Structure 1
């Protein structure tokens, strides 16, 4: 083995001994390690500085108790987390996730991915992530408010506009951000830049709600252009019905594509005439209902239980926008058999390592989450800029900047992949392009 391979093997062995019960985090690190060897071969100074071992260890991680009172007057207790992973290029930036699956492993995996995603935007933001195992589904507004107030009472000790700027993620939408910001302001005073994804009446940015879904389509547009293809006329499968999926469906239709599916944790709807994002938006964002209701309202749609990736239909592009590891090896093979030539990840790490290998072997182009879904954090950083300047940009101004950022992300990833001999492996390209900026910043700042 080369010096770089020996070094990475040694670092991984040490990591597994430290964190054997963190499978999601170990998977994220492995995905990164598989692509970084040629960079270390070319830059032995990174090995000398033991930069990789420093990079995979969070600068700090917090776990805290979140007690709150439900509508019956019963005291409930959840766990809260915040991981400030790497701040070499700017304040920590990354969402808060409220979901029963949240644990330290998931928060570390998300924070690690966020470091590279934020670097790829070209904006001065480091990487972090947080959340709680609290489930907002089925809870009243009062219960969600009391939980958010308790959560922020502890979190506010560790965040600030120039330190750590959280945003929303799964389970944390406009309602939750409002309650979180209200408690922060109550305790610390008005600081608009401390959270992003805020309402427009108190410092939010136009186009922030749409940003991740829109950005996913702009990235897809750039990838297709590199293959002398265009989005118009393409058939797309989308999983999920959260914020990312809804606005990906909207932008895809506007750019001339037909989205055939949308899903939630129970099942999915298929509409050969194209999913109507307004109906999905009404069901999921207003009524907080289930996607099966779509089939009752749209005559051409049909509802199926199970995973959308187990449903066979001819299509060109897959956009997984639900959750991590939703596409395993079997589903990846099925996606290739259905004729999809492109898979772009709207959710974080939706494909298992086996799925990634199958996509590469079948010549299916894969846009990794750290690049393809970076639109949300990009516009969050633009929201921070507007807060600093006490300005509000128009929707079109923000959207134009987002489109430029997403096209630049693809261009940088493509350039890095080709430079280091990875061809059309955009996962490798994104890892390398994001890593080199962070690595150089860490070297310049000494051993910190």
Structure 2
């Protein structure tokens, strides 16, 4: 009887999420599943019986941040006279589960990246002795219902696939999240309709490779068709595409982006480099020429499009000549949004075994050089918007009464903001028209009209 009561115990659960929007989406799913099974989510680890740290393990900086957060939560776990559980999940746990189990005795349970649907069962079966659960990636997309949404989910991600088959030489993600697995179209549409009913106005499509959607499930690239159907859902105002691979941006997709008013003229295309030599070493399918052709095609179809990209400096074999080529490429293409990572040597990847590794100081110097160039490009791009009237999604109000929001040309948390004045009382999620009257490196200033 005692065991039965213990198995039926309901916990106060705190979830700490690190890393990318895909992790945030996973945490929302986990929270919803736990609530459905009778557990209660809390906003402070001190108030919890169970602490879950959803980790990132993509590059060295992310791994360090995850370890630091686990240790921080471990200290809270030991506070007071309370028998808390500490669970570590996500990419770091999946990648280093066995090692972490040995090095972090403070942690009770380790989960991978596809096991959140098992959480209620794991909590119910947990015994006093320490256990470890690190599962293999599933062969199909695991549908997790009952997602926990914020009180005002005016912007929300929707995961359309899991895993990756691109096997880039520097990337460990396929080993962590498994092969590419598309989600069924009807399930995506059903969740999107639910999000719209709850007040979602901006729907952000995410996956390791959004543009590969459907190829495994339907035998063809189906992103364009999916987006067109999402545009029919009442309530949605903006549909944003993240993590798009250049080699899979089809003419059909460009046509849908051009014709459908709800689709943001914004595309996140992580190209990583422009040198054919480095792209080949990276095992990328794009070439210098194909990247330029695709960017030009997008800009011709949508002159106002904002393109975000990411680059890697200091990849093994990158000489000063390849870096100069990359620098000139950035200067010529003038990407509206751009981020740069210094190459991170990840064990278990082909790139980690390559000769001609670039010194850390050189990698960082090259990164900083491109970021200084990008500041100038970003300022020039922003200054072109002075005098324009743009639709802005309100996100918050600062202490001085000004509002902060974003245009369709900016993704949440990573891109520019618009600081503007209004005589109205506005709420997060409101869409208003703002005249831009000033511009800075990464932000715009205006007034509602």
TM-score range, shorter chain: 0.3 to 0.5
Instruction: Give 1 or 2 for the bigger CA radius of gyration.
Output: 2
Give the number of the structure with larger relative contact order, counting CA–CA contacts within 8 Å between residues 6 or more apart: 1
What TM-score do the two structures reach when normalised by structure 2?
0.33
